[in-house]
Amino acid sequence: MSFQAPKGTFDWLPPRSERVLAVREALVAPLRRAGYGYIETPVFEDTQLFARGVGESTDIVSKEMYTFPDKAGRSLTLRPEGTASVVRAVLQHNLHNGQLPVKLWYSGSQFRYERSQKGRYRHFWQVGAEALGSEDPALDAELIVLAAHGFATVGLKGVRLLINSLGDKTCRPAYRAALQEFLRGLDLDEDTRARIDINPLRVLDDKRPEVRAQLDGAPLVVDHLCAACNAYHEEVRSLLSASGVAFEDDPRLVRGLDYYTRTTFEFVHDGLGSQSAVGGGGRYDGLSEMLGGPPLPSVGWALGVDRTFLAMEAEGLLDESTESRLQVYGVPLGDDARRRMFLLISELREAGVSADMAFGGKGLKGAMKGADRSGAAYALILGERDLAAEAVQVKDLTTAEQTEVPLAQVVDVLKGKVQ
Ligand code: HAM
């Protein structure tokens, strides 16, 4: 019997796995330069944290959570996203009583029991950033600019930014009522009708053509913003324009999580098919209070690393074969040579040269094949005659040129060659 990775999950294998590490790093680099500190929270949390934080009416909470009782009967859930956990950690450790905003970034696995397809997985990776405790349009703009820089750093050209405002507790209730009234007049199935009461904004996000066709005249939140929300949104837009970050107003942009207020945005890539969002986020001024904390106006985003990678593939950014990290490959011939090679390879590694050797007692032919496949620049061939002469053959694998070097000098010689 053989096992397969669970449905909706996959393995990252070399050399792609090395590339994805670099992509995560590149997405994070702009955050580090902007004063965001690294936070790591547990992969599982109290189920109620997500139920309350993300919202009972969302697909994430109602259908997609990996929830299980632990042995003491606590209900735990594998995190479907990072924001609720970050707010929980900030409140728990009183970070909000220090300098504001608290700026944090994270990078890690998220889990959602979604219908899996290309770009939509049950286990996926996000890089995220949250700035907590400030109501300032410059902070919303900063985060959006940093995400745009991240995508630019990995070379993506086809990322589009969509933005919207969802209003706040002053103007949202009236908009919600207007939307509900409009939606009640439509021809919708029972599930969708139920949604009108719980979360009418989500109906705007319905992808089915028969629903979409009826939504044309739906009231838009931008037309119902109060003066404060309007001014805030205009300021975010003008800071983005001044920063040279292109965006498109999308008055129908709604997000799949309930905590958003005011600014919301999504980064989409057209090379990805239906799962086009490579990142998204927004302001969540009420989340802290929803979790029992004090008012803590905040904003943040998460970028989907797997989808960013797919977008890079779609743009042909990953085509060139990856360079090997190995510089030297040892080819020992015989047991004594193998013992000596083992030590020599260690010495090279300690000296900062990346090195590997043939294992499993291969003969010269097999071991040389290994050297070629490894991508190393040099092979070190050590036979019995070499050992007796306290020397080793250094073969340049590009030119096939071979020179004999005393064992006592070979580390220095190779260091000189590869650095
Ligand atoms: P989200 O839009 O649910 O937001 O996820 C952010 C990104 O994660 C998406 O744009 C997408 O690239 C990626 N993603 C989501 N689900 C999947 C999946 N099943 N498979 C692959 N990639 C996926 C959040 O999670 C919020 N916490 C963002 C945020 C932070 N808002 C404020 N602060």
Identify the residue with better confidence: 49 or 252: 49
Angle at 137 between CA 136 and CA 138, to 5 degrees: 90
Segments of the chain assigned to CATH 3.40.50.800: 328-418
Query: Per-residue confidence at 248, pLDDT binned at 50, 70, 90?
Result: very high
pLDDT value of residue 321: 61
Protein residue with its CA nearest to atom 17 in ligand 1: 120
Taking the C-alpha atoms of 381, 382, 384 and 387 in order, what is their torsion angle to the nearest 10 degrees?
A: 140
CATH code for the structural domain at 328-418: 3.40.50.800
pLDDT value of residue 57: 83
Q: In terms of C-beta density within 10 A (0-12 exposed, 13-18 middle, 19 or more buried), how is residue 313 classed?
A: middle
Average pLDDT over residues 142-170: 97
Give, in order, the Cα–Cα distances in Å from 108 to each of 41, 184, 281, 302. 9, 41, 16, 10
Protein residue with its CA nearest to atom 25 in ligand 1: 81
Protein residue with its CA nearest to atom 30 in ligand 1: 301
| C-alpha span between 204 and 196 (Å, rounded) | 10
Residue 68 clears pLDDT 70, i.e. is over it: yes
- Pocket test residue of 79, 102, 124, 312 for ligand 1, highest count of atoms within 8 A of CB: 124
| C-alpha span between 297 and 287 (Å, rounded) | 8
The domain defined by 16-171+225-314 carries CATH number 3.30.930.10:
yes
For residue 360, give the 3-state DSSP assignment: coil
3-state secondary structure 56-93: CCCHHHHHCCEEEECCCCCEEEECCCCHHHHHHHHHHC
Residue 10 clears pLDDT 80, i.e. is over it: yes
Average pLDDT over residues 20-44: 97
In sequence order, which residues have a C-beta less than 8 Å from that of residue 416 and are 6 or more positions away?
none
Residue 320 clears pLDDT 70, i.e. is over it: no
Q: Checking DSSP bridges between strand 123-132 and strand 298-304, what pairing results, if any?
A: antiparallel
Query: Per-residue confidence at 206, pLDDT binned at 50, 70, 90?
Result: confident
In this structure, is the dihedral angle defined by the CA atoms of residues 272, 275, 278 and 283, taken in order, positive or negative? positive
* 135-146: b (≥16 Cβ within 10 Å) or e: bbbebbbbbbbb
User: What φ, ψ does residue 76 adopt, rounded to 5°?
Assistant: -115, 155
Average pLDDT over residues 324-328: 87
pLDDT value of residue 207: 84
Residue ranges for the binding site for L-histidine? 81-83, 112, 126, 130, 255, 259-260
Distance 275 CA to ligand 1 centre (A): 11
pLDDT value of residue 255: 86
pLDDT value of residue 185: 94
Segments of the chain assigned to CATH 3.30.930.10: 16-171+225-314
Average pLDDT over residues 318-328: 77
| C-alpha span between 225 and 174 (Å, rounded) | 10
Expressed in angstroms, the distance from the first to the final Cα of the chain is 48
Protein residue with its CA nearest to atom 16 in ligand 1: 120
pLDDT value of residue 381: 98
pLDDT value of residue 362: 85
pLDDT value of residue 256: 83
Taking the C-alpha atoms of 54, 60, 66 and 71 in order, what is their torsion angle to the nearest 10 degrees?
A: 30
Average pLDDT over residues 305-310: 98
Nearest by Cα to 371 from 340, 336, 402, 350: 402
Query: Per-residue confidence at 241, pLDDT binned at 50, 70, 90?
Result: very high
Residue 8 clears pLDDT 80, i.e. is over it: yes
pTM of the complete model beyond 0.85: yes
What residue type is assigned to position 264 of the chain? T
Asked whether 201 and 178 are in contact (CB, 8 A), the reply is no
Q: What's the mean per-residue pLDDT of the chain?
A: 95
Give, in order, the Cα–Cα distances in Å from 6 to each of 3, 59, 307, 331. 9, 21, 19, 39
Distance 281 CA to ligand 1 centre (A): 8
| pLDDT tens column, 184-201 | 999 999 989 988 988 898
Query: Per-residue confidence at 53, pLDDT binned at 50, 70, 90?
Result: very high
Distance 89 CA to ligand 1 centre (A): 20
Average pLDDT over residues 75-100: 98
| C-alpha span between 127 and 270 (Å, rounded) | 21
Distance 287 CA to ligand 1 centre (A): 17
Asked whether 296 and 132 are in contact (CB, 8 A), the reply is yes
Query: Per-residue confidence at 322, pLDDT binned at 50, 70, 90?
Result: low
| pLDDT tens column, 334-380 | 999 999 999 999 999 999 999 999 999 889 999 999 999 999 999 99
3-state secondary structure 122-189: CEEEEEEEEEECCCCHHHHHHHHHHHHHHHHHCCCCCEEEEEEECCCCCCHHHHHHHHHHHHHCCCCC
Give the H/E segment covering residue 30. helix 16-33
| C-alpha span between 57 and 34 (Å, rounded) | 35
Asked whether 57 and 199 are in contact (CB, 8 A), the reply is yes
Residue 323 clears pLDDT 70, i.e. is over it: no
